[in-house]
Structure 1
């Protein structure tokens, strides 16, 4: 047995149903602690901070970019994780991740990090566009899933991402009238996310190696770090290989599409 062999089986039918109802599912042990440790060593170097000297942790958050080194690619390449992508986004309908997305590394700090508002991740636009002009639409163009990879242990005090349970259904209803054009982040932010304020709140906690697989419309938010050790997570998208559709002639809708159909009163 290699150090990466102790990986769980894919998602159960109950977990797929939970994903459609709640907008996310948690997969424990999706990659090994060893890979997480290797990745953190690279990330620590790039923060410019000393992991053993809290005096060097002078910012509440440091954002790091794309990572293509082996530990990151292997973390996103496990058989069980790929099976989960098939189950949720549809077999053959997503691109394997060959890099790990942005890392907002959060440090214990009394300072307001300034990025804790509720939002969804918009998914299409142009390189020349202001980011607030990027869009989301009813068929989630450009994003099959939002993924949260935990590269450190994350407890309730360690700035876990906040998730509004079931909020993806309300966002689908908001996006539907805008059709293929969708809404910009500016338009979504102007309306606010008060229509999801009554949703129960969950926290994306877990041990290093945990992955949260989230519907692209799930409303979520960061929060300040009140713990003692910095938190390392990546939040890449799973990119679609073919466009999503909520009106497939063969009726072979993925759970991502089924959730949207459910929100709009379909089956």
Structure 2
């Protein structure tokens, strides 16, 4: 895709300064890091007591359901896993507790608001934005696969959002927020990210005014062609109480936890009140999320007209047989249309399961 104009450095600096003027928590360096690399770790963003509470809820649940003991890694193998290449990966339901962020984690709230352009771009100004005490665990499993560094040719890379059709301006996933509940050292189950994946995802979505089916981005047929354009991979690490703000276009995957240190995080999408906008009028500053997309496209503005309704899609884990067949037909039709535009699954992708298979679920 080519554009008539490019994002000149002076224009970018002006737009960045306007976005930064709306920030109350992030520093200039942190904001720049998010725009350039698609994520930023905000240190000590929420109280350690919240992290401890969530971990306690997780272990209570794992012990009650599977007999997994916090202090005995040999019992962690009792926790079932959904896929062979994700041993030790588990989601807990939590106790039902909720933490309103404005009250319980004001720094985390402010940092999220900074990235999306201010609390005014959240439903009810973010008054109801909360975290539950559900968690995503990554535990070492005896005789599990060896740790390997992140690379393109691995299973499970995906873009979050399995319940909606993906457009370049989708408000359903305006930001991915990852609160860290346990210290995460290297090779200890930290999520793998492709830091340079914002650009290929942005270019694809810019060419798809009708959007793309979520099955194509959930370790589906679109992923190999996107991830093979990436070379800047990283492992998310941090301390309990940190929060990682991740661009919604970031491709990521689960890693192997090679340590006896259990990892617990959460995976919290931030829903926007309105779709993102890449052609804002003068005086209406872009968010850092939007600015990262424009930077990736190398344009100062991008006029986008959606040609298909943003309908909710039934997540594959909740589909009955008839619904699964219906969605499969839709994906197959989309794959044919994409193939006509030269977007096909590379041969290596099939070796790692990258088709629109409903058994490939999203993970963090």
Normalised TM-score (structure 1): 0.83
Report what 1:241 is aligned to.
Answer: 273
Bigger Rg over Cα: 2
Which protein has greater RCO, CA pairs closer than 8 Å, 6+ apart? 1
Instruction: Name the SS of the counterpart of 1:38 in structure 2.
Output: helix
Corresponding residue for residue 138 of structure 1: 168
Cα deviations across residues 87-109 of structure 1 (Å, max 9, x unaligned)? 11011112442233862211101
* Counterpart in the other structure of 1:167: 197
Structure 1 residues 216 and 66: alpha-carbon distance in aligned structure 2, compared to 1, 3 A threshold: farther
Name whichever structure is richer in helix by fraction.
2
Partners of 1:76 and 1:55 lie apart in 2 by 39
Picking from 160, 178, 193, the partner of 1:121 is 160
Of 86, 89, 97, 2:113 maps to 86
What's the RMSD between the two structures over aligned residues?
A: 2.5
Dislocated runs of 4+, deviation >4 Å: 72-77
Deviation larger for 197-206 or 214-223: 197-206
**Is 1:152 matched with 2:171?**
no
Mapped contact 1:68–1:99 kept (Cα < 8 A) = no
Q: Deviations over 1:212-246 (max 9, x none)?
A: 10110011111111000211110111111222111
CA contact (8 A) 1:100 1:236 kept: no
1:264 aligns with 2:297: yes
Unaligned runs of 5+ in 1: 1-8, 126-134
> Which residue of structure 2 lines up, in the alignment, with residue 225 of structure 1?
257
**Rounded Cα–Cα distance in structure 2 between residues aligned with 1:214 and 1:87:** 13
Distance 1:30 1:223, change over 3 A: same
Q: Is the 8 A contact 1:150 1:209 kept in 2?
A: yes
SS at match of 2:177: strand
Number of residues of Structure 1 aligned to a counterpart in Structure 2: 247
In 2, are the aligned partners of 1:61 and 1:104 still within 8 Å (CA)? yes
Do the aligned partners of 2:162 and 2:214 also contact (CA within 8 Å) in 1? no
2:223 to 181, 184, 192: 192
C-alpha deviation, 1:31, in angstroms: 1.3
